[in-house]
Structure 1
Amino acid sequence: MSSHRLFKGKLAIVTGSSRSLGAVLARHLAAKGANIIVNYTSDNSTEKAQEVVEELRSKYGVKAASAQADLATIDGLKKLVEIAKSRFPNPEGKFQIDIINNAGVTNPKALEGLNAEAYDAAIPYLSTDRSGRIVDISCIGASVGLVYSTAYAGSKGALEAMTRVWARELAERATVNSVSVGCTAEMAHVVLPLLSNAPLYAVRQGIDSEEVVEAAKDLDGRPAAWMTGSCVSATGGGVMTRS
């Protein structure tokens, strides 16, 4: 199968509006053939989310729909699943979520043993043949110790820990990984002292996009860059590392 149709017919749920990381993931998955549910929370994001949906449909020829639901609430989780089921009905009666840009909570019980108020909203619709993909979005904030970010950094650190637990508990249903991203242009001023020593911090005139070049004028460097200096573990879960 060619890489540009790798996920043909798969259903992915991602979170974010037009300029978010979720939107970037939505475009990437749609380019590989996946159908997309774009989840967003606030009324202010309705128009932006719909813009992403229309872009995915027209540019990549996939099915796409938006769904407003607050994933910080139990009702929001259930609402998102119900919207996905109604927008993407399966003629054979089997609804399945294949790829998730994930959000969740914790509880001192085995994952499958948690009640409906925790994870059951989505678990019944995961694959049962290891074909599912769960991608947890973490952040540099879990590692660098930014001031005034106790709750945010703590939640991202917990998410990374849960990623490793879910990788074991959901092994027969899906792979589970987390991606720790750097800062965006909006947050670069907060972590500027930490970024200034990064190898890929220098802006490149004529190579980087105009947006990056413009952002760098105020920040004295790039607001974000690609991976370097990281060790990615591809051991089938034998060694679970944090890159």
Structure 2
Amino acid sequence: MRLAGRTALVTGATSNIGRAIAVAYGAEGAHVVVTGRNAERGEAVVAEIRAAGGKADFVAADLDGSPAAAQQLAEQATAVLGGRIDILVNNAGALDGAGTTTIDEAAFDTVYAVNVKAPFFLVATIAPAMAAAGGGTIVNLGSWVARLGVRGGTAYAASKGALETLTRAWSAEFGASGVRVNAISPGVVHTMADHPAAGMMAGTPGGDVGHPDDIARAAVFLASDEAKFVHATTLDVDGGRIGVATFAA
């Protein structure tokens, strides 16, 4: 129960990595606000956490990148969690696989709105409240493609690079006030072992697609007191994708 007595807001928590993090936080004793656009899926995650003996609630949110949407979610989550948010996980994301010459402006703006602006304005609202309450923890979800170039998905890669940079900037800005800020950089992660993107993990030490639970365990560590001396760090949980060179057979 490493998060017993703490409160957590997990964005994009209705599926895949976000769902796994929310479930893991609930199992470790945190009261979790599950948020996303799909109420049916969100309530299913809440039911899963409660069935295991945890505490969770769903708050619907469409994080469109606007300060108003971030402010509304922060206020609603704070109220549900009894007046404070101890842990914020910026997991909600938008992916567009188009390249530089093919992506249109609307798609580009959506990627940056969800992946950069939404976390930015959530942190702008929540981090000062954490500091005023004596401290807190922020965990951002980056991506291995932020540092290892691949063809396609250039706006997505750039947005995740921005979020990893913000992780360090926010640590400098809020760390002295007791707010720890770190990031996780997942490799290709999915519940499907034969996911179409599995080829991107070929030749890595991990050898295959990771499971959302792999990321959730790292998110628990970063949110817990075990990581109290970990600041401004991007933790690669990617099967060795970034750290080890691969070669064609």
Does the 8 Å CA contact 1:102/1:135 hold for their aligned counterparts? yes
The answer to whether residue 60 in structure 2 is matched with residue 68 in structure 1 is: yes
Under a length normalisation based on structure 1, what TM-score does the superposition of the two structures give? 0.68
Does the 8 Å CA contact 1:129/1:173 hold for their aligned counterparts? no
Q: 1:154 and 1:48 mapped to 2: Cα distance? A: 29
Q: Could you tell me how far 1:16 is from its partner in structure 2?
A: 2.7
Q: Could you tell me how far 1:102 is from its partner in structure 2?
A: 2.1
CA RMSD in angstroms comes to 3.1
Q: Could you tell me how far 1:237 is from its partner in structure 2?
A: 6.2
Higher RCO (Cα < 8 Å, 6 or more apart): 2
Name the counterpart of 1:177: 182
Which residue of 195, 198, 216 maps to 2:201?
A: 195
Under a length normalisation based on structure 2, what TM-score does the superposition of the two structures give? 0.67
Cα 1:87/1:154, change in 2 over 3 Å: same
Cα 1:40/1:30, change in 2 over 3 Å: same
Task: Report the secondary structure of 2:52's partner residue.
Answer: helix
Does the 8 Å CA contact 2:171/2:231 hold for their aligned counterparts? no
Q: 1:100 and 1:118 mapped to 2: Cα distance? A: 9
Name the counterpart of 2:39: 46
Name the counterpart of 2:101: none
Task: Report the secondary structure of 1:144's partner residue.
Answer: coil
Q: 2:171 and 2:124 mapped to 1: Cα distance? A: 17
Task: Report the secondary structure of 2:139's partner residue.
Answer: strand
Residue identity opposite 1:175 in structure 2: R
Deviations 1:30-79 (A, max 9, x none): 111100111103xxx221110011121221232x2111212222221111
Cα 1:241/1:50, change in 2 over 3 Å: closer
**Structure 2 unaligned residues grouped into runs of 5+:** 92-114, 216-221, 237-249
Q: Which of 1 and 2 has greater Rg? A: 1
Q: 1:181 and 1:238 mapped to 2: Cα distance? A: 18
Does the 8 Å CA contact 2:14/2:42 hold for their aligned counterparts? yes
Does the 8 Å CA contact 2:13/2:21 hold for their aligned counterparts? no
Name the counterpart of 1:99: 87
For residues 102-121 of structure 1, what are the structure 2 equivalents within 5 Å?
102=90, 105=116, 119-121=123-125
The answer to whether residue 115 in structure 2 is matched with residue 122 in structure 1 is: no
Cα 1:160/1:86, change in 2 over 3 Å: same
Name the counterpart of 1:8: 4
